[in-house]
Amino acid sequence: MDIQRTVLWVVFSLSLLLLWDNWMRHNGKPSMFFPGLTQEVAKPAAGNAPAVKGDVPQASTPATPGAAAVPAGAAAAKSEIVTITTDVVKVDIDTMGGEIKRLELLKHKDAVDPTKNMLLFDPGSKHTYLGQTGLIGGDFPNHKSAFIAKPGPRTLDNGNQVQLVLESEQSGVKLIKTYTFTRGNYTIGVKHDIVNNSGAPINPSLYLQLVRDGNKMENESHFYSTFTGPVVYTDANKYQKMTFEDIEEGKAKHATKADDGWVALVQHYFVTAIVPPEKVSREIYTKKIGNNLYATGTILPVGAVAPGAATSLESRLYSGPQETENLEKLAPGLDLVKDYGWLTIIAKPIFWLMTQIHKILGNWGWTIIALTVLIKLAFFPLSAASYRSMAKMKTVTPKMQSIRERFKSDPAKMNQAMMELYRTEKINPLGGCLPIVVQIPVFIALYWVLLASVEMRNAPWLGWIHDLAAPDPFYILPVLMAVSMFIQTKLNPTPPDPIQAKVMMFMPIVFSVMFFFFPAGLVLYWVVNNVLSIAQQWVITKKIEAGKPA
């Protein structure tokens, strides 16, 4: 029995099943293998600001006994948009609620329209993404209350920092929000000062929340899927992510109480994270607040504030690219939003090696090529063992075909004769597969590193490749990929089974169709890997056929 061909047949069949499963999940159908990863089908956005009942959070234990829901605030007050511009972000903040309504990343282009910058926060009719804060536990200012913007600079100019101060007073309780923006930094300082001018003690809680629709990104690929949704991290429960569909159905499971950690919204290449102060007890929540509109956030008890007294809480808001170095510095575990899945333990060292190579070469395309060469060298002995086995199998293919012809009516004798041939020729039928199996986790991890790394986004290589995170505009790399796979197929032993032989011939076509839609950086990696494999396999095969030591 040709065990090697059978293994390859199984791998090919499984690849097609996984591709089909990915397509089903992308269109909102249940996954055959990972039921928890079903994605929600895009629904119409809820419109502009989420002025719906229930979008102001309530603590599970009210800060003030018997406290009712927070009133909507001075709805008739005039709304003013204050725009803060730094060298990396342009942010629109509404004085109605002190809400972050728009956040534009000035160093990153939109994937759909490269003439525009990437938007994270957005109050538009097609996409809703907002940042909100306020007080609960009484008739206090919240994200529906009218604030007054204090005068001050709105751009960095020659300085390294710019602040926006907003004030609102309700029932004698003043809330002062201070947003601090720093040059070259995607982290925004968010300070809340609570001043009690009411004449009676208060015991409020501060909430910080992100609101987003459940739609996938416009440029989401049909051939590979990346996670979009809320994530929660605490030291006790570690990294927890959930889909919008889970929240819709009340199935979202995550830590609800902690004194550390953060909450975030993740999408491909970018993240917005709320990082409260450490060692402060908090509640964590995710909930649906409207039609296709969801909130994730945290509630921090402020504590008792006596009449005439004041207190403050300082938090941080990160909204920008998933750059590992910056995320690691900001908060423990925040770099995990760059999701490598179950192969993180392998993927992280690979990405570290990539960054070191990039420091020398200065180009991510050449970095991918250099990394592929290094990995190929590291696995050279295993690859050589695999190719030696394949070369030996190729030399005995005529004998195997003869055995099949002689014993085609007696499978038992055919298998016995095959095993005798393997012993005589000193061939291990699994020798070509086992070395490859050992390498598979590393190559899958490298795949996720290239897919998840924002550093590839808008990064040119040479000539026609201007963005390694986008498909090859002229499909040159996918065509080279198909050609290299065809050459590899020719170098491998021809399967005695005619059906398997035809399948192996069609594999380059099937996989090249997929790679037409893959990011150019991923296809570049596979092309280089295939070319190196072809060279190694060709040399070994020629030596085996010539009767020389390989």
Q: Which pLDDT score is estimated for 464?
A: 94
Query: Contact at 8 Å (CB) between 80 and 152?
Result: no
Q: Which pLDDT score is estimated for 141?
A: 97
CA distances, 456 to each of 129, 326, 460, 468, 533 (Å): 25, 16, 8, 5, 25
Q: Which pLDDT score is estimated for 293?
A: 95
Contacts for 76 with CB less than 8 Å, ≥ 6 apart? none
Q: DSSP labels for 126-140? A: S--EEEEEEEESSS-
**Which pair of structure tokens corresponds to residue 384?**
């050589």
Query: Contact at 8 Å (CB) between 37 and 31?
Result: yes
| Separation between Cα atoms, residue 288 and residue 37, nearest integer Å | 19
Q: Beta strand 89-94 with 81-85: parallel, antiparallel or unpaired?
A: antiparallel
Contacts for 279 with CB less than 8 Å, ≥ 6 apart? 259, 260
Query: Contact at 8 Å (CB) between 294 and 287?
Result: yes
Return the closest-CA partner of residue 271 out of 313, 245, 299, 232.
232
Low pLDDT (below 70) residues in the chain? 1-54, 59-77, 219, 221-224, 386-387, 389-392, 394, 428-436, 492-505, 544-550
**434-452 vs 364-378: helix crossing angle, rounded to 10:** 160
Q: Which pLDDT score is estimated for 213?
A: 95
Query: Contact at 8 Å (CB) between 296 and 209?
Result: yes
Query: Contact at 8 Å (CB) between 191 and 121?
Result: no
Contacts for 329 with CB less than 8 Å, ≥ 6 apart? none
Give tens-digit pLDDT for 351-378. Answer: 999 999 999 999 999 999 999 999 888 8
Q: Which pLDDT score is estimated for 382?
A: 76
pTM above 0.85, yes or no: no
**344-361 vs 364-378: helix crossing angle, rounded to 10:** 120
* Phi, psi torsion values for 384, nearest 5 degrees: -60, -40
Q: Where in the chain is the domain with CATH 2.70.98.90?
A: 80-339
Q: Which pLDDT score is estimated for 163?
A: 97
Give tens-digit pLDDT for 237-251. Answer: 999 999 999 999 999
Q: Which CATH class is domain 80-339?
A: mainly beta
Residue appearing with tokens 């070395």: 435
